[in-house]
Structure 1
Amino acid sequence: MEQLTAEFGGSARVGTGVGPVLEKFESVSRIAVLRGGGLGDVIFAIPAMAALKAAYPAATLTLLGTPVHQALFAATKSPVDEVCMLPHAEGVRPGEEDPAELDAFFDDMRGRRYDLAVQLHGGGRYSNPFLLRLGARHTVGTRTSDAASLERTVPYVYYQHEPLRALEVAGMAGAFPVDLEARLAPADSGASAAAVMRDDGAGPWVVLHPGATDPRRRWPAGRFAELAAACAADGFRVAVIGDESERALAEQVVEQAAAAHVHSFAGDLDMGGLVALMVRAAVVVGNDSGPRHLAQALGVPTVGIFWAGNVINAGALGRSLHRIHASWVTACPTCGIDITQVGWTAPRCPHDDSAVAGVAVREVHEDVRSLAATELTKVDA
């Protein structure tokens, strides 16, 4: 215990936290959480933010995030009180940096006088110096050996479940977990399901998301098309979703499925519409991507298609509502390079071959049918 106290800069407590839970900071009324990235990235941070809100119930929690984060928290109920847009900054938010914009941002942040700033954005090489410029009284976060130190830090090791990593950081601020995984609910003013659903007289909806930021994480479009046709034959209506950049991919799935009641919604839904569609779905099937993580957070059954390494970082913890099909490929199918090494320790080859192509359609389809047929009685806490 003495060693923990010396290393982490606080009094360690034994409890049900993920890792050590230290003493809370005193007089915390404003909290800033740094988490850039995409939809899935911020969903991973929600359990930590819920823990921080429970530990400091009188505090306002501000997420320093991106436009998609702002849209998410406008469409759902969450622990986030407000979203403040990050400026473009290397390693924090991609885009061309504007020094004047950065200076104005940090002037504003320092003027808010945050009591606690929490870094949930990677290993800290770029994000820790960024966080320190906020001028908060206390700082906690993750840290690689070459990153600037914060007041209390957790060693950053890539292969760790992302929500649990974030909860370990929250523990550094004295926050015990409330949930191990994200929980969201549609906002009271959210889009109505009727505004996004096409009532064509068929059965329940199965939602498919064939996209992923890294092409290697994508199950081939032909597999999704085969699954869509099988679900349609079972009497489901099938919605293929994605953002504007995935419209062609979704249309390819619909075209190859060549089945009635298979529709593309890609590029047509805002966040409120996506949430409305998700909560009406019987099952959502997707790669390791933001929409699948969103469905899970909304309590919708999911079937996930994952490369094995991504299961460690992002897979659902339970199997009652969430099934995972993992590919154990460890080398690029084209050049044979080891793909288990993370980007900053080994070069990424230029090939985008799917690492999950070997997952069988029949097995995914069986899980869709099983989950759709299962009715669970949910008890509100």
Structure 2
Amino acid sequence: MEDPGNGPAERPAAGPGPAAGPGVGPLLDKFRDITRIALLRGGGLGDLMFALPAVSALKAAYPGSTVTLLGTPLQDALVSGTLSALDDVMVLPFAEGVRPGQEEPAAVERFFNTTHERHFDLAVQLHGGGRYSNPFLLRLGARHTVGSATPDAVPLERTLPYTYYQHEPSRALEVAGLAGAAPVLLEARLNPRARFVAQLPAALCTELPPGDTPLLVIHPGASDPRRRWPAEAFGAVARAVADDGGRVLVIGDAGEKGLAEAVVSAAVGHSTGNGAGPVINVAGRLELGELAALLARADAVLANDSGPRHLAQALGTPTVGIYWAGNALTSGPLGRGRHRIHLSWVTRCPACGADVTQVGWTAPRCPHNDSLMEGIGSDGVAADVRSLLAQ
């Protein structure tokens, strides 16, 4: 894609207006003399994947610039374990609405003292509606600020209205457009680092299959329990692949070992006795760089709407995703050639009947964690998994 921002065609920052060229929403004038960019997007792995297309756009619009992620320790570990467009990470302090936890005023002050020493030229808020994140962003002291805002949030220099139901990578690209950055990629792209690829066989020893054996990786977890497909359903798909002669590895963090084991147990219960490939629990055994190497090595990944599914997609691995319909709108993959989704259209909490479509910054959440995914059948999911493995 042609770089829209160099040479005499570049307009001054004063009086921004829509510029010609591709974009998600208005593509405004670029700012002058931008070399250091801070990008605020905390949260988990998926949140980082949503922001990466905007990082690529900003780097293309401002050649030679550096982009620093203001993120979480988990995101920092992933950036260290993969190759991406990001240059570095500053770990956020605990602060209300920015990083959950017990806020320590001294740590917050140290953080901002460090950001002031970095002399950021542009600060980009991709963290949400801005009620807490916009005041936080303004404290960085950057010369220019862009982001989104709910009606009760402090506006930035250039601001878009925040609406919950918007595709998150597209929202990030629309915010980047406020800084004159046209899209380069529509979805995140990553590569595992060579050292983690090299150490993966030692980390998993005999669990990795021979090169000609199809490998399916399953992640049955999700940060919101309502987004979790039942372990019994995952187990049915795992057993079907194993009975076809494939190898299935079930992943998760240390807190998801029991959930992964439930999938393995369910798979054993579905066994026909004809399969040559086992189903193995490897949850809690991999650091993030090794996880990225495994997901890149897999022939397909089956998962809920979760960080590992988004990470697998960014690594170029085909995926089958289990989605609540509202989450598919905000975070689903764009293509269907390599990525399939199965949708739950449930709109009310199974326990209390609360309308679960009313979400976001103004909507109270009911206290129940009953799965919204139980109506999705395993036969159709297994068919899609087999189709991708056959590719």
How does the TM-score come out when normalised to structure 2? 0.92
Q: Does 1:72 align with 2:82?
A: no
Aligned counterparts of 2:378 and 2:129: Cα–Cα separation in 1: 37
- Equivalent residue in structure 2 for 1:20, among 9, 20, 26: 26
Q: Does residue 131 of structure 1 match 2:137?
A: yes
What is the percentage of aligned positions where both structures have the same residue?
61
SS in 2 for 1:140: strand
Report the equivalent of 2:298: 281
| Counterparts of 1:223 and 1:196, CA distance in 2 | 28
SS in 1 for 2:362: coil
> What's the Cα RMSD here?
1.5
Q: Distance in 1 between matches of 2:357 and 2:375?
A: 17
Question: Following the alignment from structure 2 to structure 1, what is the Cα–Cα distance between the partners of residues 358 and 117?
Answer: 42
TM, length-normalised to structure 1:
0.94
Match of 2:151 among 145, 150, 159: 145
Given the alignment, which residue of 151, 165, 178 partners 1:172?
178
Counterpart CA distance in 2 for 1:239 and 1:74 is: 24
Q: Which of residues 333, 344, 368 is equivalent to 2:361?
A: 344
Pick one of 210, 214, 218 that aligns with 2:228: 218
1:162-241 equivalence runs, <5 A: 162-192=168-198, 193-197=200-204, 198-199=207-208, 203-241=213-251
Output one character per residue of 1:294-349: Cα deviation in whole Å (capped at 9) or x when no partner.
Answer: 00000100000000000100000000100010111001112111100014333211
Helix, strand or coil for the counterpart of 2:196? Answer: coil
The alpha-carbon deviation at position 186 of structure 1 amounts to 1.4
**Aligned residue among 53, 56, 68 for 1:47:** 53
Task: Please give the alpha-carbon distance, in whole angstroms, between the structure 2 residues aligned to 1:240 and 1:102.
Answer: 38
Counterparts of 2:145 and 2:17, CA distance in 1: 16
* Count of equivalent residues: 368
The answer on whether the counterparts of 2:129 and 2:361 sit within 8 Å (CA) in structure 1 is no
Q: What SS class does the counterpart of residue 19 from structure 1 fall into?
A: coil
In the alignment, structure 1 residue 318 sits paired with structure 2 residue 328:
no
CA 1:308–1:41 in structure 2 vs 1: closer, same or farther (change >3 Å)?
A: same
Equivalence for 1:266: 283
Post-superposition offset of 1:276: 1.3
2: CA distance between counterparts of 1:9 and 1:124?
23
- Give the AA of the match of 2:316: G
The answer to whether 1:251 aligns with 2:232 is no
Aligned match of 2:38? 32
- Contact 1:200/1:261 (8 A) holds in 2: no
CA distance in 2, matches of 1:300, 1:199: 16
1:10 and 2:20 aligned: no
How many angstroms apart in 2 are the aligned matches of 1:119 and 1:151?
A: 11
Distance 1:373 1:166, change over 3 A: same
Q: CA deviation at 1:199?
A: 4.2
Equivalent residue number for residue 376 of structure 2 = 359
Partner residue in 2 for 1:91: 97
Q: Distance in 1 between matches of 2:197 and 2:135?
A: 39
Could you tell me which residue of structure 1 aligns to residue 274 of structure 2?
none
The residue aligned with 1:379 is none
Match of 1:44, SS state, is: helix
